[in-house]
Copies of this chain bind each other. A is one copy, B any other.
Amino acid sequence: MRVHVEELQVQTRSREDIVIITGGIESAIERSGIKRGIALIYVPHATAMLAVNENEPRLKEDILSKLRQLFPRNAGYRHDEIDDNANAHLANVFLGPHLVVPVINGRAARGTWQDVMMIEMDGPRARRVIVVVVGE
């Protein structure tokens, strides 16, 4: 049993953005040499979050549209009295900064329509993504 830790750098391009990070995750798992176990993906930020879904351009627009609809900007949030990103914090509370996937045969055991997405709601920013692989 071993633990492997890596950190990825992810750059977002606009205030709200979705970046596919599957490649970086798979590379980290491969470098770990771990064949069976779990991989934790973690974003140490309060306005960026993780999801796993289909990497289809129109769907990514739908995801951002739904987040804007449920968490609109400047909707009278109290936190906006000291900052202007309360809606991004709220989206993070719902989607979460963590994701755990199985590692089987040295790869993430994700489905055909499952890519790992880092979603930012208060960018553009350079963000860190921590990957911890635990297994044998």
**Copies of this protein chain in the complex:** 3
Complex alpha-carbon distance, A114 and B39, angstroms: 21
Contact: A36 with B3, CB < 8 Å? yes
Contact: B93 with A51, CB < 8 Å? yes
Contact: A62 with B42, CB < 8 Å? no
In the complex, A92 has a CB within 8 A of chain B: yes
Residues in B neighbouring A81, C-beta threshold 8 A: 58
Contact: A93 with B63, CB < 8 Å? yes
CB distance from A102 to the nearest CB of B (A): 5
Contact: A96 with B52, CB < 8 Å? yes
Q: Which of A93-123 contact B (CB under 8 A)?
A: 93-104, 109-111, 113-114
A110-B44, A113-B45 known; A53+B93 contact, CB < 8 A? yes
